């Protein structure tokens, strides 16, 4: 072999060796998934299902393998994507994807995103991608990827029955993110299956907080926070009230109103504010690969109503009015006494909120729900939304009241528009009804043997001595008399509306009883027993007419208002220390 032949042989061997190494290197460096068949080019025909749907700011073509892992991705701006289409005018043509891993049963997904990166359009097609130069054309149609919220008929909805509804519009969604926001810093989210019912766990996390302790007083405060003279009111104590009008309702508030929201199965959820909490509601679709859609274009702001409110003073649980549909919890339905009791039997048979011991409240229980908050034009049931300012039945039947003109019995009712308590015929005068459960409120009286009576249920001590105060018995003189009284104790005061009502005994009715009050209050020092039957001042002003204050008639238990210049009796009270 001559020299030239030898050099040629060496060159051929080197080239062959080099080519072999290149091939081996190419195989070694490939980390393709299972069933990898090399790289290929595919083409797809793209269209949108509806020209009215949103126009994305960017597009992504993603290919997922049989394990739902993304193995290919290509992105375009909206302009680039339009240019890639062969039919630019109608945005309906063919697009080539080069260097795509080939294999069996791959899913090609087209994702259209808005300027925030949220997914608004989505299309998917399944195909076998073989390692040939160009695969057959895949047809893919992009659809809206969103959820449409349905506006609630009532933006105040129950946490456990009727959260705002929505439609599963995205056919390719397999899960949904439910999001409820009640402040910018507090967002509650839950991911659920499209076929699953609404998750109770999401509801149970709304505003969940510690359970307040029961204060154990049967006589909560009236809620009155302003000060009054004869006809004026003030949030400040600055017009000689410290001398002439000290001792009125706003000066004493040991057992302030306190309530807790209770979930339908009896679990505590959150302490209420003065109005139902506002929430923002979103539902976001998620596909099988974890791609999340955009939030709805318009989220709904709504208030959550709760089915039960607990009074933290008394421990009583109240069933709320949550609907306006003619049901047992309709806010506007009125009933005769007989119909109200039939309704009570119905909700107990249904075990409303998991309980079967609901009842119609007694007078003191129902009366304590009325708030004398003078910051409003009218007293409102702040913690009992959807409770109408109207008359409500109590369980107190007036025995021996039947007459030839009114053969039926009458029942005491509380008027939530005025705070007054009066009797009405149980058959011919319908009213609303509010149900309660828990140990009934009653007075637990002890005669201390020193001219005072203690009520361990309310935490109050009463003087057995009553009087017509001052010269004329006016409201101002009543306040001054009680504040200046120094009989055994020096901290006597005029009782507020709720306190004076707490010692009425509505089971006592004329003509069998001299007055609607326990015999322990009868004292031999009374000028005459008829003093028991007179009206008595309270320290609470009627905010509908600030010339008037609430009075209690112990002849029968009626609660009314009277002009502050009238001559009316007083019964002093003090807190049990």
Query: Which of 18-32, 36-50, 200-214, 545-559 shows the highest mean pLDDT?
Result: 545-559
| 67 or 185: which leads in pLDDT | 67
**What are the strands, taking DSSP E only, across 289-380?**
300-305, 308-311, 317-319
The pair of three-digit structure tokens given for residue 535, joined into one six-digit string: 């009206």
Cα–Cα distance for residue pair 359/100, rounded to 1 Å? 72
Q: Which CATH number fits the domain 148-209+278-303, given the four candidates 2.60.40, 3.10.450, 1.20.120, 2.40.70?
A: 2.60.40
Cα–Cα distance for residue pair 313/383, rounded to 1 Å? 14
User: Quick check: do 148-209+278-303 and 227-240+250-272+306-437 share a fold?
Assistant: no
Query: Which of 82-91, 424-433, 492-501, 550-559 shows the highest mean pLDDT?
Result: 492-501
Strand order in the sheet with 548-553: 391-398, 410-415, 421-425, 559-563, 548-553, 535-541
pLDDT reading at 13 higher than 80: no
**527 neighbors 562 (Cβ within 8 angstroms):** no
Residue 357 zone, left/alpha/beta (φ > 0; ψ -120 to 50; rest): alpha
**417 neighbors 389 (Cβ within 8 angstroms):** yes
Domain coordinates in residue numbering, the chain: 39-143, 148-209+278-303, 227-240+250-272+306-437, 445-575
pLDDT reading at 417 higher than 70: yes
Whole-number pLDDT of residue 22: 40
Q: What is the CATH number of domain 227-240+250-272+306-437?
A: 3.10.100
Which of 351, 190, 156 minimizes the C-alpha distance to 265? 351
Band the pLDDT of 207: cuts 50, 70, 90. Answer: very low
Cα–Cα distance for residue pair 175/430, rounded to 1 Å? 50
pLDDT reading at 131 higher than 90: no
Residue 145 parent element (H or E): none
The predicted-structure confidence for 230-254, as pLDDT tens digits, reads as follows: 766 665 555 455 578 899 999 998 8
Cα–Cα distance for residue pair 413/424, rounded to 1 Å? 7
Q: Give the predicted TM-score (pTM) of the model.
A: 0.67
Assigned superfamily of 445-575: Mannose-Binding Protein A, subunit A (3.10.100.10)
Band the pLDDT of 33: cuts 50, 70, 90. Answer: very low
The pair of three-digit structure tokens given for residue 269, joined into one six-digit string: 């959820």
Helix, strand, coil abundance in the chain, percent, nearest 5: 15, 35, 50
Q: CA dist 289 to 70, 122, 262, 292, 338, Å?
A: 8, 12, 39, 9, 60
Question: What value does the mean pLDDT take over residues 362-374?
Answer: 88
Question: 15-29, 81-95, 144-158, 203-217: lowest mean pLDDT where?
Answer: 15-29
Whole-number pLDDT of residue 362: 95
Whole-number pLDDT of residue 336: 93
Cα–Cα distance for residue pair 151/163, rounded to 1 Å? 10
Question: 107-116, 256-265, 343-352: lowest mean pLDDT where?
Answer: 256-265
Q: Which residues contact 387 (CB under 8 A, 6 or more apart)?
A: 320, 321, 331, 369, 381, 416, 434
DSSP string, 511-567: TTSSSSB-GGG--TTSS-GGGGGSEEEEEEE-TT-TTEEEEEETTT--EEEEETTS-
**What are the strands, taking DSSP E only, across 325-405?**
391-398
Instruction: Report domain 39-143's class.
Output: mainly beta
The pair of three-digit structure tokens given for residue 214, joined into one six-digit string: 């029961």
Whole-number pLDDT of residue 255: 82
Question: What value does the mean pLDDT take over residues 195-206?
Answer: 52
């Amino acid at each position: 072999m001559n020299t030239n032949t030898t050099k040629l042989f060496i060159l051929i061997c080197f080239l062959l060796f080099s080519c072999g190494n290149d091939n081996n290197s190419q195989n070694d460096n490939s980390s393709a998934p299972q069933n990898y068949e090399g790289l290929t080019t595919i083409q797809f025909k793209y269209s949108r299902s509806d020209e009215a749907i949103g126009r994305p700011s960017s597009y992504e073509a993603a290919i997922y393998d049989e394990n739902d892992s993304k193995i290919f991705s290509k992105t375009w701006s909206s302009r680039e994507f339009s240019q890639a289409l062969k039919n630019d005018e109608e945005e309906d043509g063919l697009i080539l994807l080069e260097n795509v891993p080939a294999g069996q049963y791959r899913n090609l997904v087209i994702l259209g995103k808005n300027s925030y990166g949220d997914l608004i359009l989505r299309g998917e097609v399944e195909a076998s991608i073989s390692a040939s130069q160009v695969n057959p054309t895949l047809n893919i149609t992009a659809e809206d990827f969103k959820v449409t919220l349905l506006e609630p008929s009532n933006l105040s909805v129950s946490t456990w029955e009727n959260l705002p509804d929505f439609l599963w519009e995205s056919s390719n969604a397999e899960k949904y993110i439910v999001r409820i926001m009640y402040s910018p810093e507090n967002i509650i989210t839950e991911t659920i299956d499209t076929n699953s019912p609404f998750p109770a766990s999401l509801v149970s996390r709304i505003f969940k907080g510690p359970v307040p302790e029961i204060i154990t007083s049967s006589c909560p405060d009236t809620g009155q926070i302003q000060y009054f003279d004869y006809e004026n009111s003030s949030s400040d104590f600055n017009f000689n009230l410290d001398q002439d009008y000290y001792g009125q309702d706003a000066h004493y508030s040991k057992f302030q109103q306190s309530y807790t929201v209770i979930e339908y199965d009896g679990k505590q959820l959150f302490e209420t504010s003065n109005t139902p909490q506002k929430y923002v509601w979103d539902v976001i679709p998620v596909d099988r690969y974890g791609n999340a859609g955009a939030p709805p274009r318009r989220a709904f702001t709504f208030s959550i109503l709760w089915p039960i409110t607990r009074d933290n003073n008394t421990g009583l649980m109240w069933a709320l009015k949550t609907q306006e549909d003619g049901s047992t919890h309709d806010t506007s339905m009125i009933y005769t006494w007989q119909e109200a009791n039939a309704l009570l039997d119905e909700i107990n048979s249904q075990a409303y909120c998991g309980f079967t011991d609901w009842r119609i409240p007694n007078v003191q229980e129902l009366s304590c729900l009325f708030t004398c908050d003078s910051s409003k034009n009218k007293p409102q049931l702040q913690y009992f939304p959807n409770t109408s300012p109207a008359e409500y039945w109590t369980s107190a039947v007036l025995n021996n009241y039947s007459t030839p003109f009114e053969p039926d019995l009458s029942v005491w009712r509380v008027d939530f528009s005025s705070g007054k308590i009066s009797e009405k015929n149980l058959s011919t005068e319908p009213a609303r009804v509010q149900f309660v459960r828990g140990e009934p409120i009653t007075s637990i009286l002890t005669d201390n043997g020193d001219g005072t009576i203690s009520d361990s249920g309310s935490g109050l001590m009463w003087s057995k001595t009553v009087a017509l105060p001052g010269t004329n018995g006016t409201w101002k003189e009543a306040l001054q008399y009680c504040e200046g009284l120094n009989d055994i104790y020096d901290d006597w005061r005029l009782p507020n509306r709720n306190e004076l009502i707490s010692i009425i005994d509505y089971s006592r009715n004329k003509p069998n009883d001299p007055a609607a009050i326990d015999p322990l209050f009868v004292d031999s020092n009374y000028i005459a027993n008829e003093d028991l039957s007179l009206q008595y001042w309270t320290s609470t002003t009627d905010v509908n007419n600030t010339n008037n204050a609430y009075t209690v008639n112990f002849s029968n238990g009626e609660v009314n208002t009277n002009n502050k210049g009238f001559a009316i009796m007083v019964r002093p009270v003090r807190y049990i220390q």
